[in-house]
Chains A and B, each alone.
Chain A
Amino acid sequence: MELDPNVVHVAIRWLHVAAMATAFGGAVSVLALSTRPGDVSAGAIVGVAIRYEWIFWAAAGVLAMTGIGNLAAFGAALLGPATNWGVTLLLKLGSVLTLVVLSLPRTLAVARMSAGPIAPSVMIAVRNLYGATTGAFAAILAMAIWLAHG
């Protein structure tokens, strides 16, 4: 029995959107926790950030894998890099690459924070790191929506 290619492409797109929602939602959650910690200690927030880093890298791998699967669904009909759509795709791929590259220092910084005593002032760094990550994801999401529906 052969699977309907449309079903496969919908499943890949579902996985892509789910990975994006997980990575984006997780970054928003850590940002919200570090901005308004309430009764939550700095140590607990860094602990959540460490959990997020595990999830982020899993999501990054799934996003890259399914993103290429989404492009493959276009096949030879994929619009060229000189079109408006193509320029936006190049911009999106460049933004994703930049986010992935700059996420490694974020992971290292959070791992380093978790290794030593955690001062409340660490929350400023956590807020900045996850604020930048959230902003980058929001920009990439806007480009993705434009590519899908623009």
Chain B
Amino acid sequence: MKLLTWALATFHTTVFVLIIVLFAYSGGGLGGALGGLNTFAGLGLFVALWATTYLTTSRALKGLDLIASARARAGYPIRALRWGAANGMSFLVILGLVAVIGGIASTRPEQVVSGILIPALFISPIALVVSAAFGGAVGAFFGMIDLALFAVAGLTGEDAEPTV
């Protein structure tokens, strides 16, 4: 586990969630939305997003030394886009599994196939494409923000000594 991976993954997760909360609260819909969400489900979803973001960030940074290498930083936005898309799909799979299992638990056994599984089968390919596009866009956005913050930290010039 590397500090940079841990910092970037947590940075992306917290900033993403804080922006949603800020917009939802400004629009007046936060109280109702959170009130309808089970506390453990809310905490679980945050932890799931944190975990998928950590895993995808770790893959995006594999073999790159963003602190020491300007060349690595130049290639980072494309990886951020690609692994952002993977993160969007991973999180959707978790959401989908929770929704399907919850649906099965609260549906009569004879209605599970027609009421839950068949609709899920039809919706899932479209949802995966949408989540990949959304995740890719968010990943690309964070890739650019990260590079701007790297510049703030003075990491803009030529390659330096490799870091651990």
Q: Does A68 contact B (CB under 8 A)?
A: yes
Q: How many A-B residue pairs have CB under 8 A?
A: 139
Q: Mark B33-60, 1 if CB is under 8 A from A, else 0.
A: 0110101101100110010000000000
Residues from 107 to 132 in A contacting B, C-beta threshold 8 Å: 107-109, 111-112, 114-116
Report whether B154 and A100 are in contact in the complex, using a CB–CB cutoff of 8 Å: no
Closest chain A CB from B153 CB (angstroms): 4
Complex interface: chain A residues within 8 A of B42 (CB):
68-69, 72
Report whether A112 and B67 are in contact in the complex, using a CB–CB cutoff of 8 Å: yes
Q: How large is the interface on B (under 10, 10 to 19, 20 to 34, 35 or more residues)?
A: 35 or more
Cα separation A114 to B154 with both chains bound (whole Å): 15
Sample (28) of A-B pairs whose CB atoms are under 8 Å apart: A5-B39, A9-B39, A64-B18, A65-B47, A68-B17, A69-B43, A72-B34, A72-B42, A74-B34, A76-B35, A77-B31, A80-B28, A81-B25, A90-B22, A93-B22, A100-B15, A101-B15, A101-B149, A104-B8, A105-B153, A107-B7, A108-B67, A111-B4, A111-B67, A112-B153, A112-B160, A112-B163, A115-B162
